[in-house]
């Protein structure tokens, strides 16, 4: 039995996980520890100022309008998006757009947990987008900007009406700092540090437009809200959430790590540079895909392909003929081989997604490592197939 020859060059950093994602180039625990308020109260002046600094730097780098609120909240992007849904949905009709697992989770919560009376779920298969033209102008709209588990993203925000009556709720956890956000079309946006920033998990970031604040202060949802979801008191926004007084105790290590990542983005040239790094990484993968006959991007429309969570499917006839379980077993075998060689870590597709590979290409990844990865993918495929 003949096996493919192993490549000679490995990625310097083989971490390609889609969350938590790779740390920034040059990252060290010592650099974070130097600025972290460890063993201190998050209410202490210095710690609170650092939380506020992370809020301010985030808003500045992303070009957030000055009248928007930005806050750090519990439970990662999931917590941020859930607290927005539970606090604000139900005031008007809702359209849930679904094309990957996290969007499907939001739709399940809207229909089964919140029990919204007028809630449409507009769904598409992995790798494609639903018909965005069908959303209702008078409805609240909930969607993921970038499908982390499908590799499909919205190409722009043009499909959202300028004179919309409803609010837009955007889960942008794997999009911010890599893709443009049209803030004029966004009322609620969430993300988490462990994606494009390469930060630590467990904390979410929540952005609210003036229209979203108005909804919070004028609408009382017909459901109990746990403490970590409450953003108003006495009908008024709890402003401290957005000035450094977090709802519950944050990890000051995670806060310092996020500030470290934000400072790195500033050093490399800001949002323009971080988006360019993601674009370059995704282009390196796609160049290889276009020249390789056994693999394709899961997303057929180039304009809708993610530049962060790049999802690939195996189209080799022998592998494609296998059932789903067989295909996933084959991919798992490839992934284990690559991990054993320390050539690529954590690149299996998401558990609910079609069988395939998922390679993180966000700003903290170096293009040279993406380029070094692709011959190893060829090696793993050829070796796994020869061993069938």
Of 354, 347, 303, the closest CA to residue 328 belongs to 354
310 in helix, strand or coil?
A: strand
The whole-angstrom separation of Cα 193 and Cα 262 is: 10
Residues composing the chain: 388
| pLDDT at residue 195, as a whole number | 96
- Global pTM? 0.97
pLDDT at 1: 38
Distance CA 39, CA 377 (A): 44
Q: How far apart are CA 248 and CA 171, in angstroms?
A: 22
Q: Walk along the chain (388 residues) and give the pLDDT tens digit of each residue.
A: 346 899 999 999 999 999 999 999 999 999 999 999 999 999 999 999 999 999 999 999 999 999 999 999 999 999 999 999 999 999 999 999 999 999 999 999 999 999 999 999 999 999 999 999 999 999 999 999 999 999 999 999 999 999 999 999 999 999 999 999 999 999 999 999 999 999 999 999 999 999 999 999 999 999 999 999 999 999 999 999 999 999 999 999 999 999 999 999 999 999 999 999 999 999 999 999 999 999 999 999 999 999 999 999 999 999 999 999 999 999 999 999 999 999 999 999 999 999 999 999 999 999 999 999 999 999 999 999 999 9
29-265 carries CATH number 3.40.50.1970: no
* Residue 4 confidence (pLDDT): 82
- Rounded Cα distance, 136 and 216, in Å: 21
In the CATH hierarchy, which fold is given to the domain comprising 270-386?
3.90.1150
Contact 255, 40 (CB under 8 A): no
The DSSP bridge pattern shows strands 309-314 and 295-297 to be antiparallel
What is the residue whose two structure tokens read 């607290």?
Answer: 83
Bridge partner residues of 168 (DSSP): 141
The residues spanned by each domain of the chain are 29-265, 270-386
| pLDDT value of position 3 | 61
309 backbone dihedrals φ, ψ, rounded to 5°: -95, 85
Distance separating alpha carbons of residues 378 and 292, to the nearest angstrom: 9
Helix axis angle, 252-268 to 270-290, nearest 10°: 80
Cβ atoms of residues 113 and 94 within 8 Å: no
Whether 175 and 145 have beta carbons less than 8 Å apart is answered as yes
Angle at 87 between CA 83 and CA 89, to 5 degrees: 110
Neighbours of 153 (CB within 10 A): 26
Q: How far apart are CA 358 and CA 21, in angstroms?
A: 12
Beta bridge partners of 192: 204
The bridge status of strand 203-208 relative to strand 232-233 is unpaired
**Tokens at 347, concatenated:** 């690149």
SS3 of residue 69 by DSSP: strand
């Amino acid at each position: 039995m003949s096996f493919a020859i192993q490549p000679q060059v490995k990625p310097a950093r083989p971490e390609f996980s889609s969350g938590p994602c790779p740390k920034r180039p040059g990252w060290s625990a010592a650099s974070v520890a130097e600025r972290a308020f460890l063993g201190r109260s998050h209410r202490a002046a210095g710690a609170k100022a650092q939380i506020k600094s992370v809020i301010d730097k985030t808003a500045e780098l992303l070009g957030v309008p000055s009248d928007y609120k930005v806050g750090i909240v519990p439970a990662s992007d999931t917590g941020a998006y859930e607290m927005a849904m539970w606090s604000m949905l139900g005031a008007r009709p809702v359209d849930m757009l679904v094309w990957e697992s996290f969007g499907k989770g939001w739709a399940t919560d809207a229909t089964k947990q919140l029990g919204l009376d007028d809630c449409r779920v507009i769904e598409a298969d992995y790798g494609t987008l639903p018909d965005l033209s069908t959303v209702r102008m008078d409805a609240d709209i909930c969607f993921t900007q970038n499908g982390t588990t499908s590799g499909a993203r919205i190409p722009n925000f043009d499909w959202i009406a300028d004179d919309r009556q409803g609010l837009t709720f955007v889960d942008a956890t794997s999009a911010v700092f890599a893709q443009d956000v049209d803030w004029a079309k966004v009322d609620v946006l969430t993300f988490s540090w462990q994606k494009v920033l390469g930060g630590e998990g467990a904390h979410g970031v929540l952005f609210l437009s003036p229209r979203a604040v108005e909804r919070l202060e004028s609408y009382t949802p017909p459901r109990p809200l746990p403490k970590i979801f409450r953003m108003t008191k006495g009908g008024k926004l709890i402003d401290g959430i957005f000035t450094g007084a977090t709802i519950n105790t944050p990890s000051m290590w995670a806060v310092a790590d996020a500030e470290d990542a934000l400072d790195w983005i500033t050093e490399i040239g800001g949002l323009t540079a971080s988006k360019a790094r993601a674009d370059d990484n995704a282009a390196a993968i796609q160049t290889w895909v276009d020249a390789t006959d056994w693999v394709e991007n899961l997303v057929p429309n180039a304009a809708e392909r993610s530049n962060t969570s790049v999802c690939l499917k195996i189209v080799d006839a022998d592998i494609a003929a296998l059932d789903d379980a067989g295909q996933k077993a084959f991919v798992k075998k490839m992934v284990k081989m690559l991990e054993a060689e320390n050539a690529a870590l954590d690149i299996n597709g998401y558990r609910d997604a079609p069988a395939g590979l998922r390679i993180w290409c966000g700003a903290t990844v170096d293009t040279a490592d993406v380029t070094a990865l692709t011959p190893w993918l060829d090696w793993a495929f050829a070796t796994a197939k020869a061993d069938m």
